[in-house]
Amino acid sequence: MKKNSFGLLGQVSALTLGGGGIGQVWGANTREECVATIHAAIDAGIDLLDTAPMYGNCEAIVGETFAGKLPAGLRTTTKCGLGTPATSDVEKTLTSSLENSLKTMRLDRIDIFFLHSNICADDYVYAIRPDRQDTFATRWSMYAELVIPVFEKLKAAGKIGHWGITASGVPDTIIRALKHTPKPAYAQVVTNLLDSAGSLRRYAEPARPRDILQAANDSGVSLLGIRAVQAGALTAQIDRELSA
């Protein structure tokens, strides 16, 4: 497996095993199939597992597969879909999400903890489901003033190695986040031949993934490409039935 430089984590495999398929986001599977997939990935040289609570039972499968004893050199990520809750709930929500993920995966520490929400300006109104935007988008002031300090606190406590953002939100605000100090160590950015964010794009403007990639590179933020085959749209065939 080819290795690439991955910022503060050093060299990692060029490919990552995403947790969506393991957690049945992309169709039904069995526990045996999931465990076999994880082992096949590791045997092929993959050494980064990308998980999240919203990926079904992905984290539980990881916990069951390794029983808290990860193979040497295997890195892990998890995420928290914060949205914009009451300011008094930000630290509790982020911390409890991380603690639940650690417990489920039977780990004491995660290498990267991602904000799994869009980031938007305080007064921004989404084109799609504006009535629910506070469930999927974190407003800028909350991100800058509350989220970042919690991430830094968790890092200082040794619960996470680094923190990052899922850079699929409003492009101008994502670019602002990449240039802001403190900046994320990592960003998940849409990377496919069509520059298509698909259903991740709930805003009216173009997705601008190449501008986001450039801003991340300019700021020294390391990248994890997502939607490489546009959620299956760029594949020749999907091997199982998907729910509507």
Instruction: Quote the pLDDT of residue 195.
Output: 84
Residue 120 falls inside a structural domain: yes
Residue 105 falls inside a structural domain: yes
Distance (Å, whole) CA 195 – CA 207: 8
Residue 46 falls inside a structural domain: no
Residue 56 falls inside a structural domain: no
Instruction: Quote the pLDDT of residue 43.
Output: 97
Residue 49 falls inside a structural domain: no
Residue 18 falls inside a structural domain: no
Q: Which of 61, 196, 201 lies closest to 118 in space, CA to CA?
A: 201
Average pLDDT over residues 12-34: 88
Q: What is the pLDDT of residues 35-91, one digit of tens each?
A: 999 999 999 999 999 999 999 999 999 999 999 999 999 999 999 999 999 999 999
The whole domain housing 83 covers 76-231
122-131, Cβ contacts within 8 angstroms, sequence gap of 24 or more: 124/170, 124/173, 124/203, 126/202, 126/203, 127/202, 127/203, 127/204, 128/202, 128/203, 129/202
Q: Are strands 3-5 and 11-13 parallel, antiparallel or unpaired?
A: antiparallel
Q: What is the pLDDT of residues 106-140, one digit of tens each?
A: 999 999 999 999 999 999 999 999 999 999 999 99
Q: Is the confidence at residue 190, as pLDDT, over 90?
A: yes
Total domains present in the chain: 1
Find the CATH number of the domain harbouring 150: 3.20.20.100
What value does the mean pLDDT of the chain take? 94
Residue 62 falls inside a structural domain: no
* Helix locations, the chain, DSSP H: 19-22, 31-43, 58-66, 90-105, 133-136, 140-142, 148-156, 171-179, 209-219
Instruction: Quote the pLDDT of residue 227.
Output: 82
**Secondary-structure percent of the chain, ordered helix, strand, coil, rounded to 5:** 40, 20, 40
Q: What percent of the chain has pLDDT over 70?
A: 93
Instruction: Quote the pLDDT of residue 235.
Output: 66
Instruction: Quote the pLDDT of residue 144.
Output: 99
Instruction: Quote the pLDDT of residue 17.
Output: 96
Q: What is the pLDDT of residues 212-242, one digit of tens each?
A: 999 999 999 999 999 876 666 666 676 667 6
User: Which has the minimum average pLDDT: 16-25, 88-97, 140-149, 231-240?
Assistant: 231-240
Instruction: Quote the pLDDT of residue 140.
Output: 99
Residue 26 falls inside a structural domain: no
Average pLDDT over residues 187-209: 91
Instruction: Quote the pLDDT of residue 214.
Output: 98
Instruction: Quote the pLDDT of residue 183.
Output: 98
Burial (CB < 10 A; 0-12, 13-18, 19+), residue 196, is middle
Instruction: Quote the pLDDT of residue 184.
Output: 99
